[in-house]
Amino acid sequence: MLKKSVLLFDTIVHLRAKQIRYRAYYILRKELRKVFASTSAVRMHSVNCAALKLTDSIALPQSYGNNSFVFLNLTYRFDTAIEWNYSEHGKLWTYNLNYFDFLMQAGLSKEEGVELIKNFVRDMPRIKDGLMPFPISLRGMNWIKFLSKHAICDQMINEALMAQYTILKETLEYHLLGNHLLENAFSLLFGAYYFQEERFYQKAKELLLEELNEQILDDGAHFELSPMYHQIMLFRVLDCINLLQNNSWKQDELLAFLTQKAEKMLAWLKLMTFSNGDIPLFNDSAKNIAPTTQALCDYAERLDLRHSSTKLSECGYRKWMKDAYECVVDVGNIGPDYIPGHAHSDTFNFELYISGKPFIVDTGLSTYETNARRSMERSTSAHNTVEVDGKNQSQVWGGFRVGKRAKIVSLDEGEHGVSAEHNGYKNIGVSHRRTFSFSPKSLMIEDLLTGEKSEGRAYLHFYPGIEPAIEGSCIVCEASQIRVSSAEITIEEYLYAPEFNTAIAAKVAVINFSQNLQMEIKL
């Protein structure tokens, strides 16, 4: 009990006062509404809408057809009416059902889209998760884009949509902050323009100016340090630019502000993306959730955004590109202290692509459920870094929580490499320094453990289909040879998770060493 209390304290101590205050406020308000039988409105009256014009956005993947839905690689077909509260595939699947992204898939007819929306509206009094602020935010944008595309102004739909925006305005996710509050703000901007509602606009503008200035780092990265969430946030910013470019209800500095942020975000994403179009699966990142980098670049071009450039700095990621390989390394902190829910215990992790193909990869992300798989995928041993005494560098726990976290205490970098030290093992009296050195045909990685314990375990996770073999002090693969200094090497199996609810058998090299380890990857 004491140990759990300490872990909880180490987690809560990093929260902002605003998060704690709003969490208490929302809980108290919910209880008072139960006592006084008060609920938020689910229908408004006499609501008018504006005819919005929008440039074509990004078509989203097929996820609906013939009463069947597929999200996160899980499919369910409703035999009769759609059950918007369906929960057998987990809460994230339910949320996806309620997002209405399928309105943006190619080939969905106007009539079918309207019927899906009205089906939801008729069910609103009994809908649960779908009336939480996050799904309201995403659904609101999707409804408005669909209604605008087909020039629909339906009173029943508008009343329900205004009711949802009223709920959203009352339940902004200040208790979570980060990408959740940004999604609220993006959606409020859409709601403001659609209804020409001044109070929505002023709140959206306030939040966007404040949150984007905080959440987009100077090098263009989104501060939660997930390439997947970066893609999603960039998509939203581009959609807002689209909205403001094509509709003149307000004329102020917001368009220029959003454009400047989008150009920086786009430059960062292009730099981080591998030549084959993949993003590194750092932190909570998975494929086929966000629009691809190429789709976002094409969209930005349709919006006439300028090309920009950046240098990786504040985000903590670094990338080296040689003729034979590309390597992205993580020599930064895990992200904002007050919202580390999408962070992994992965300091000094790296991904290596050879000739445009994945070679050493991150384990990936298969679930948001609070279970053993989620804990494993966030753990140090699931990443290409060093574990000491079987412990995580950062105390990831409970699905989306982090207690004590590793901090970078030293960073030296130059043209041909980078060297950094973190203090994630200070509780057991150990510091870990890792040095990456890059040359045209090879990559050298050196690990140094100093302190009371000198036994470490390094991991190299190979992409599925690569079959490493041990030959003396070398790990031999078809594309390369990895020379290892004095150490014990074993080849084991792990499950690679490039997408939600996906697990592909692959090989991992586990390297046990004492104090110092040198690995030279020769191509």
List the beta bridge partners of residue 438.
Answer: 443
The span from the CA of 104 to the CA of 232, in Å, is: 15
Question: How many CB atoms are closer than 10 A to CB 289?
Answer: 18
pLDDT at 224 exceeding the cut of 90? yes
Residues ≥6 apart with Cβ < 8 Å to 266: 220, 234, 296, 297, 300, 305, 308
* 3-state DSSP assignment of residue 106: coil
Angle between helices 293-302 and 227-246 (to 10 degrees): 20
Cβ atoms < 10 Å from Cβ of 127? 17
Residues paired with 65 in a beta bridge: 68
Using alpha carbons, select from 338, 335, 370 the residue that is nearest to residue 22.
338
pLDDT category of residue 8 using cuts at 50, 70 and 90: confident
Mean pLDDT of the chain: 93
CA-to-CA separations, 490 to 91, 443, 471, 506, in angstroms, rounded: 38, 21, 11, 14
Q: pLDDT: is 284 or 51 the higher one?
A: 284
From residue 177, alpha-carbon distances to 224, 377, 407, 432, 517 in Å are 11, 24, 22, 32, 40
d(CA 353, CA 321): 10
Tell me the whole-structure pTM to 2 decimals.
0.95
Q: Are 96 and 71 in contact (CB under 8 A)?
A: yes
Q: What percent of the chain has pLDDT over 90?
A: 85
* Residue-level pLDDT at 316: 97
Q: Which pair of tokens denotes residue 132?
A: 């939480």
The answer for residues whose C-beta is within 8 angstroms of residue 164's C-beta and 6 or more apart is: 131, 136, 139, 140
Report pLDDT for 42. 57
Name every residue whose Cβ is closer than 8 Å to that of residue 111 and which is 6 or more positions away in sequence: none
CA within 13 Å, CB half, 222: 30
Q: Establish how many alpha carbons lie within 13 A of residue 72's alpha carbon, considering only the half-sphere containing its beta carbon.
A: 18
Contact in structure between 122 and 166 (CB atoms under 8 Å) = no
Radius of gyration of the chain measured on its C-alpha atoms: 24
Distance separating alpha carbons of residues 497 and 383, to the nearest angstrom: 12
Check if the beta carbon of residue 477 is closer than 8 Å to that of residue 461. Answer: no
- The residue behind tokens 């956005």 is 57
Query: In angstroms, rounded to a whole number, what is the distance separating the alpha carbons of residues 228 and 78?
Result: 30
Q: Where does the pLDDT of residue 252 fall: very low under 50, low under 70, confident under 90, or very high at 90 and above? A: confident
Number of neighbours of residue 32 by Cβ within 10 angstroms: 10
- Given a cut of 90, whether residue 31 has pLDDT beyond it is no
Tokens encoding 493: 């199996």
How would you class 41 by CB atoms within 10 Å of its CB: exposed for 0-12, middle for 13-18, buried for 19 or more? Answer: middle
Alpha helices in 150-281 (DSSP H): 155-170, 178-195, 198-215, 227-246, 254-272
Mean pLDDT of 72-97: 96
Q: DSSP assignment of 15-57, as one string? A: S-HHHHHHHHHHHHHHHHHHHTT----S--SS-----------
Helices 227-246, 254-272: crossing angle, 10 deg rounding: 150
Confidence of residue 17 (pLDDT cuts 50, 70, 90): confident
pLDDT of residue 46: 60
- In tens, the pLDDT along 494-522 reads 999 999 999 999 999 999 999 999 999 99
